[in-house]
Structure 1
Amino acid sequence: MSVNPGATGVFQVPSADPAVAECTTLSCELGAVATEPGAVTAVVLVGLVAFLAFAYVRDATDDCRRERTRVLAERDAFESFADRVSSLEPAPPARSTTAAFEGPVAGVRTVDRSSGDDVTLRRVLSAYRDTVMSLPHYEREYDETLPESLAAELGPDTATALASDRTLSAGAQSALVRRSRQAADARSSLADAIGTEIDALGSVDSELASVDRRRRRLIEHLDGIDRDPTDAAIDVWRRLDDLERECDALAGDRQTALDDPPLRPDTPLDVEGDRAFYEYLYGPTDGPNYPVLSQLAELADRIRSDRDHVASRLARGR
């Protein structure tokens, strides 16, 4: 899927020339806007009062919900695999010889090849195929063979120990169960973190809707005035300015949240460290990498457009 970089949420643009005297009065600011070439054309406010769709945030919420569902399915699959492995009867010690394996899987034994007894091994591999590898999204998202998946999820020494015609000792069985439950616990933590992000997106969506509702009502109020609208227009202009500042504050809050994610990876990822969680969530999607900031930028642009139209209306005296 394509990856589209999102807006960074920078709303206030200072003058490019610091030597230019700053316009600080309301009449000066309105006059500057109203005399811009694009602002003296006929203004039609119909349509500007419509609610924004906030598609970036709502699409991000849907993406997060789908990802959380997949993560929980993987958690359940690893728990099921651990349960099935723990129920197996390990190879009798008398029929095994200790194999030399490095790493934390100690006590793995290989069966005497002359016995041809690899039934336990086959049941382990079958259990893994029937649980972890049978997930609907597994092949599409991971595209790994069984040995590759075992190595990635449970350690390369595990894949080595289960290769060829080997079977499990009690120690190997214990290690497999332990690592499978660790994989399940890691996914539980990830699902919780995604749930935190879903809640955050819900809060942002409510705040955006509140700002946009007030924006719409201000324009509707101004459109409904039949008498001289000058005083009302100035008040609306000021309130729209306040709404833009509110967007700035929301963007600042989101930037802080991005720097303090609900989950940090235990191992380095090929993404910026503090943003790894959000890169994981939004990097593979078709939407912006920072949907909340992109949505705030869009809303702030609409507010500025409304404010420019109000200034133009003042300049025309109606």
Structure 2
Amino acid sequence: MTVQPGSAAVFQIPDRGLTEGCSSGWCELGAIATEPGVVTAVALVGVLALLAFAYVRDAESACRRERRRVLDERDAFESFADRVAQIDAVSVAADATPTGVPAGALRRIDGDGGGPPGGGPSGRSVTLRRVMAAYRDTVLSLPHYRAEYDETPAESLAAELGPDAATALATDGALSSGAQSALVDRSRRAADARERLADAIGTEIDELDDREAALSAIDRRRRCLVGHLDGIRSEGETGAAIDVWNRLTELERECDELAADRQRSLDDPPLTPESPLDGESDHPFHDYLYGAEDGPRYPVLAQIAEMADDVRADRDRVGRRIAGSD
């Protein structure tokens, strides 16, 4: 790209004081904003803004990370299916396929043991090697697979695509047309399942955004009410305090409604597992998302409870103020 002469002049900063030659109110505001006390206050507000609704924001970050991983897995299984579909299958004897993985079969697929009889000079079929190379290059190339699963390639293939698929490869020592069809079909189904899971996580992210917006609105109103009352020093203070107390009670009711609405979402998740997960859980989808996190298992409910506590604390303070004015 060619840099046009003179274009840098647009970004030149005049070497003069901040308010020199400036007569507007914005210049005075700029000068005030650079005072150390104001800068400290602004920094504190920024820190508090980052800390606000930490449970919900951490949950959203966790969901976005998990959704990215799920989409990476979807792409990996689609790529594996495409590569297996391009391999020329070989003819094998039409023996009955065993229902379980025979002892040593997975080692044979991984290359730790001897190949099947007649498997070629290396004792392994070229088509079998190509299948396992494709699996290593796609699914097993994902960083989180290597980091989280202590499995050999064959063990992983059996777990993801079915033990009978691994059995067929181990028994035949090659990629038959039947095994090829099964691997391609199951890989595409695995990709489709992850697409549905990613959509469900996206739905959860949207809900987290909505809950944070609702909580932010409640928090703004709470702060405005308390700030309004703190600024009143007149004969009408008691009446204003009673009004603020009533409005804070309404905010607490809104928190209760938010909690009930979230509970309904937990009971009706965007996705339900087709098979039971390990252990019993009333909310398997949300436990899957948040169970391994350091924060609360139900971050939205925890955030709503925290907000309700703040509202009640302010209301109690206003109540004491009303009682003291009697």
TM over 0.5: yes
State the SS of the aligned residue for 2:52: coil
CA distance in 1, matches of 2:147, 2:118: 39
Task: State the shift of 1:139 in Å.
Answer: 1.8
Deviation for aligned residue 1:271:
4.2
Tell me: higher relative CO, structure 1 or 2? Use CA pairs within 8 A at least 6 residues apart.
1
2:291 to 283, 290, 314: 283
The answer to whether the 8 A contact 1:76-1:184 is kept is yes
1:297 pairs with 305, 319, 322, which one?
305
Check the 8 A contact 2:98/2:167 in 1, yes or no.
Answer: no
Give the aligned partner of residue 251 of structure 1.
Answer: 259
Cα distance in structure 2, aligned partners of 1:282 and 1:79: 27
Question: Residue 10 of structure 2 aligns with which residue?
Answer: none
Q: Is the 1:118–1:165 Cα contact (8 Å) retained in structure 2? A: no
Where 1:270 maps in the other structure, the secondary structure is coil
Aligned to 2:179: 172
- Taking the aligned partners of 2:94 and 2:117, their CA distance within structure 1 comes to 13
Aligned-partner Cα distance in 1 for 2:280–2:205: 22
TM-superposed CA distance for 1:175, in Å, is 0.8
Superposed, 1:1-318 pairs within 5 Å as 53-91=52-90, 93=91, 96-102=92-98, 113-116=117-120, 118-163=125-170, 166-228=173-235, 229-317=237-325
| Greater Rg by CA | 2
- Which residues of structure 2 form unaligned runs of 5+? 1-44, 100-114
Taking every aligned residue pair, what percent have the same amino acid on both sides? 63
Question: What TM-score results when the alignment is normalised by the length of structure 2?
Answer: 0.76
Structure-1 separation of matches of 2:185 and 2:241: 68
CA contact (8 A) 1:261 1:274 kept: no
- Cα deviation code 1:61-113 (max 9, x no counterpart): 0000000000000000000000000000111x2xx21232256xxxxxxx972
For residues 121-158 of structure 1, the C-alpha deviation after alignment (integer angstroms, 9 at most, x for no partner) is: 00100000000000011122223221221111100111
The 4+ residue runs of structure 1 with deviation greater than 3 A are 271-274
Q: Which amino acid aligns with 1:80?
A: S
Pair 1:64–1:119, CA change in 2 (3 A):
same
Paired residue total:
262
Partner-residue secondary structure (3-state), 2:93: strand
Amino acid at match of 2:64: R
CA RMSD in angstroms comes to 2.2
The DSSP-based 3-state class of the residue aligned with 2:159 is helix
On the 8 A contact 1:215/1:240 being kept in 2, the answer is yes
TM superposition score normalised by structure 1: 0.78
Whose helix proportion is higher, 1 or 2? 2
Aligned-partner SS, 2:286? helix
Structure 1 portions without partners, runs of 5+: 1-46, 104-110
Structure 2: distance between partners of 1:172 and 1:151: 13
Distance apart, 1:312 and its partner CA: 1.6
C-alpha distance 163-315 of structure 1, shift in aligned 2 (>3 A): same
